[in-house]
Amino acid sequence: MIDLKAFVREVSDFPKKGIVFKDITPLLKNPNAFQYAIDHFAKRYETRKLGAVVAIESRGFILGGALATKLGVPFVPVRKPGKLPWNTIEETYDLEYGKDTLQIHSDAFEFENKKVIILDDVLATGGTAAATVNLVERAGAKVEEAAFLIELSFLNGRQKLRSVPIFSVISY
């Protein structure tokens, strides 16, 4: 058993003063820790007969691509506006100071099994994850669970995700 917290570096005052950023790059550069994390997710989902793994830009792509490959299912990216080259649908959501938007290809779920998980590196306040749940459902899929490598439980992100089950590997 690997203690994945040992591979998460804390960076003070990033991206702005007062925030302690949880940096997963030490985990990603350690093949054993990275494989252990992906295997942890794979074990949870290997019998669930998922149709796809949906991941959120950008660190979610690293985890999501690896997990989708391991499970043998499609990988569906959720991106910021203007980054996807095909027809998209979008979801705009509130931030602490302003708004942000996410997009997904309009044909992202043109396959029979529409049961998906959403995977990202961190669950913080939950705004991005909640917007992704809405976006995926609008695109025609059913979110079975939202999964995160890290959950910052003190930020109460689960409050915004009441409509789907949540799984996290590491909690702070």
- The CATH number linked to 117 is 3.40.50.2020
Taking the C-alpha atoms of residue 93 and residue 107, their distance in angstroms, rounded to an integer, is: 22
Which residue, chain included where needed, has tokens 């302003």? 98
What's the mean pLDDT in 128-151? 97
**Which of 132, 123, 119, 118 lies closest to 150 in space, CA to CA?**
123
Residue 162 falls within a domain, yes or no?
yes
The two beta strands, 98-105 and 88-95, are antiparallel
The two beta strands, 9-12 and 20-23, are antiparallel
Residue 21 falls within a domain, yes or no?
no
**Does 59 participate in catalysis according to the annotation?**
yes
Three-class secondary structure of residue 64 per DSSP: helix
User: What is the number of domains present in the chain?
Assistant: 1
- Is pTM beyond 0.85? Reply is yes
Residue 9 falls within a domain, yes or no?
no
Catalytic residue among 44, 57, 91, 96: 96
Residue 165 falls within a domain, yes or no?
yes
The pLDDT tens digits for 120-137 are 999 999 999 999 999 999
Range of the structural domain that residue 105 is part of:
50-171
Residue 27 falls within a domain, yes or no?
no
pLDDT value for 94: 87
Residue 132 falls within a domain, yes or no?
yes
Catalytic residue among 44, 59, 137, 158: 59
Residue 111 falls within a domain, yes or no?
yes
> Could you tell me how far CA 159 lies from the centroid of its own chain?
16
The pLDDT tens digits for 19-75 are 999 999 999 999 999 999 999 999 999 999 999 999 999 999 999 999 999 999 999
Residue 110 falls within a domain, yes or no?
yes
**Does 57 participate in catalysis according to the annotation?**
no
Taking the C-alpha atoms of residue 67 and residue 52, their distance in angstroms, rounded to an integer, is: 10
